[in-house]
């Protein structure tokens, strides 16, 4: 019998539900086994469309339940207004129009935050990959190079 949506799952039958959007053959909501990676989500979505730039995607990253993966979206600095659905686009002057998701942001999106350059952005991504994602903005404090002052500046601009 198929699982009932919203029903509790046993430990042996856990899944992550992700929204794969953008330049894939079958965008939408996909249910994958716990422990799946971005690459698995791309396969579940029918694969990336030919010619799509995936350089901003870490295909080896573990998926988090409820996250959105945007494939082939415009580069943050090139877009005007909002980005792909659920993804804040840059506002005039390059500042993000809404909180940046620590769990799904690209290197370029993190680099665009005030006080975060490419080196610190890379450290945030590496920390995310090691820990399996961010479940709290406070975990940003664990990243080498983010002290109290920088955390205070970034806290209102990011979300887990």
Over the stretch 86-104, which tens digit does the pLDDT of each residue have? Answer: 333 433 333 334 688 898 8
As annotated, the residues of the chain forming the CATH 3.10.20.600 domain(s) are 7-73
Collapsed DSSP state (helix, strand, coil) of residue 159:
strand
> Across-strand partners of 90?
96
Closest Cα partner for 122 from 95, 143, 147, 94? 143
Average pLDDT on 43-70 reads 86
Matching CATH number, 7-73, of 3.40.720.10, 3.40.50.620, 3.10.20.600, 2.60.40.3140: 3.10.20.600
- Indicate the pairing of strand 28-33 with strand 15-22: antiparallel
Q: Lowest-pLDDT range, 21-30, 90-99, 100-109, 117-126? A: 90-99
Q: Phi/psi of residue 31, each to 5°?
A: -100, 125
Closest Cα partner for 54 from 31, 80, 22? 22
CATH 1.10.150.320 fits 75-160, yes or no: yes
Q: Are 12 and 61 in contact (CB under 8 A)?
A: no
User: What confidence tier does 13 reach under pLDDT thresholds 50, 70, 90?
Assistant: low
Please name the residues in contact with 155: beta carbons below 8 A apart, sequence gap of 6 or more.
Answer: 137, 140
- Judged against a pLDDT cut of 60, whether residue 74 lies above it is answered with no
User: What confidence tier does 22 reach under pLDDT thresholds 50, 70, 90?
Assistant: confident
User: What confidence tier does 73 reach under pLDDT thresholds 50, 70, 90?
Assistant: low
């Amino acid at each position: 019998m198929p699982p009932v949506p919203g029903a509790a799952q046993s430990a042996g039958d856990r899944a992550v539900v992700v929204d794969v959007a953008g330049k894939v053959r079958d965008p939408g909501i996909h249910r994958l086994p716990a422990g799946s990676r971005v690459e698995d989500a791309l396969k579940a979505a029918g694969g990336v469309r030919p010619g799509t730039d995936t350089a901003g995607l870490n295909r080896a990253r573990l998926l988090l339940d409820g996250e959105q993966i945007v494939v082939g979206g415009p580069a943050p600095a090139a877009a005007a207004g909002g980005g792909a659905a659920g993804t804040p686009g840059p506002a005039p002057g390059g500042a993000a129009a809404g909180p940046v998701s620590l769990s799904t942001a690209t290197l370029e999106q993190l680099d665009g935050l005030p006080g975060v350059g490419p080196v610190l952005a890379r450290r945030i991504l590496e920390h995310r990959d090691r820990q399996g994602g961010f479940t709290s903005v406070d975990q940003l404090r664990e990243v080498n190079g983010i002290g109290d002052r920088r955390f205070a500046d970034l806290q209102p601009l990011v979300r887990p």
